[in-house]
Amino acid sequence: MKISYREALRLALREALSTDARVFLMGEDVGRYGGSYAVSKGLLDEFGPERIRDTPLSELGFVGAGVGAALGGMRPIVEVMTVNFSLLALDPIVNTAAALRHMSGGQFSVPLVVRMATGAGRQLAAQHSHSLENWYAHIPGIRVLAPATVADARGMLGAALADPDPVVIFEHAQLYNLEDELPDDWQCDITHAAVRRSGAQLTLISYGGSLPKAMQAASELASEGIDAEVIDLRVLRPLDSDTLAASVRKTHRAVIVDEGWKTCSLAAEIMARLMEDCFYELDAPVARVCSEEVPIPYAKHLEDAALPQVAKIIAAVKRMLNV
């Protein structure tokens, strides 16, 4: 069955709400409006206002309420409209949810799921085009997920709700209209990266909204006789270093595609790990394709120029291979 990424997320929400009375969804415009990206459309009519809760425009307030609900035995799913607004909720996420199991000596856990849209490419200018996944991936005590496929959009939420600790799920806004076949086995492993394409000459490492670009680049490279393997990180914390190392030990080269800025990026962390784990296996320095070090522009041609693109990925691969 072919469905959209958006529809897959809605199916996951409906299943969670239907099977566990402790689960509820709250956030800005998730109810009557159906969600900023139409993910929760129809759920208010189906489950009612007690379980599909519209909130005031206060991320600090409603994410904090989600932490309290999780401590009280509920299984809240909190939707933050976009990642830039989540900065207003860093205190309850980072100072409370992530730290409470440790600070209570294991007496308390916070089974909270926070969903948010991330990424650029929609001409929303500098304040609404952030890719700050690495900020959250820096924090011990939370699990950070980035579904890049329809199957993972369907499967990650249930696994996240089963986690006794906080989980942050980043949904790249450019993926909501993505359509693909939903496989029968859509259950998702939220501990390991996934090999999306096998190859022998180099490894392309990506996640989220950059994964389709990496896959397209690998396809175009294959037409020129260059065999690239593509790894979808999926889990940004904890990183699956074993899968990355196994691929690089096979291909001996790696290019990382990350929509974040280079400085202090997730790409930088992956480069460091590959140098620590695979230095003597590498036939070339690890390379990366990231966003330009500028606030993301509004103008379409400038926005495109600032972001990782297929042509940039292909050019990085060819430089590495000297072709």
Last residue of a domain, one of 181, 211, 233: 181
Give me the CATH number covering residue 113: 3.40.50.970
Domain co-membership, 166 together with 233: no
**Helix, coil or strand: residue 161:** helix
- 188 domain-assigned: no
Residue 292 is among the residues annotated as catalytic for this protein: no
Alpha-carbon torsion (104, 109, 112, 113), positive or negative: positive
- Catalytic, 59? Answer yes
Q: In angstroms, what CA-CA distances link 51 with 7, 182, 259, 295? A: 19, 27, 34, 37
- Position 47 in a domain: yes
Q: Which residues fall within 8 angstroms of residue 103, CB to CB, at 6 or more apart?
A: none
Distance CA 279, CA 286 (A): 10
Q: Which of these is catalytic: 128, 130, 133, 269?
A: 128
**Distance separating alpha carbons of residues 312 and 296, to the nearest angstrom:** 17
Q: Spell out the per-residue pLDDT of the chain, length 323, in tens.
A: 799 999 999 999 999 999 999 999 999 999 999 999 999 999 999 999 999 999 999 999 999 999 999 999 999 999 999 999 999 999 999 999 999 999 999 999 999 999 999 999 999 999 999 999 999 999 999 999 999 999 999 999 999 999 999 999 999 999 999 999 999 889 999 999 999 999 999 999 999 999 999 999 999 999 999 999 999 999 999 999 999 999 999 999 999 999 999 999 999 999 999 999 999 999 999 999 999 999 999 999 999 999 999 999 999 999 999 99
Residues 159 and 200 placed together within one structural domain of the fold: no
What pTM was computed for the model? 0.97
Q: Sign of dihedral through CA atoms 276, 279, 281, 286?
A: positive
Per the domain annotation, does 100 fall within a domain? Answer: yes
CATH code for the domain of 258: 3.40.50.920
Does the residue 186 lie in any domain? no
7, 59, 133, 303: the catalytic one is 59
Sign, CA dihedral 179-185-191-192, equals: negative
Residue in this structure with the two tokens 């900065």, named with its chain if needed: 87
Return all residues near 150 (Cβ < 8 A) that are at least 6 apart: 3, 4, 5, 8, 178, 179, 180, 181, 182
* Domain final position from 153, 181, 209: 181
Same domain for 205 and 113 = no
Cα separation, 171 vs 318, whole angstroms: 30
Residue 94 within a domain: yes
Q: Do 153 and 235 fall within a single domain?
A: no
Domain tally, the chain: 2
Give yes or no: residues 162 and 221 share one domain: no
Domain that holds residue 172: 2-181
The DSSP letter of residue 279 is: G
Q: Same domain, yes or no, for 220 and 166?
A: no
**Both 203 and 171 in a single domain?**
no
Question: Could you tell me if 44 and 166 lie in one domain?
Answer: yes
What pLDDT is attached to residue 1? 78
Q: Which distant-in-sequence residues (6+ apart) come within 8 Å of 59 by Cβ?
A: 80, 85, 86, 88, 89
Scanning the chain, the segments in alpha helix (DSSP H) are 5-19, 43-47, 59-71, 83-86, 90, 100-103, 133-137, 150-162, 211-222, 241-251, 266-278, 300-306, 310-321
Whether 152 is covered by a domain: the verdict is yes
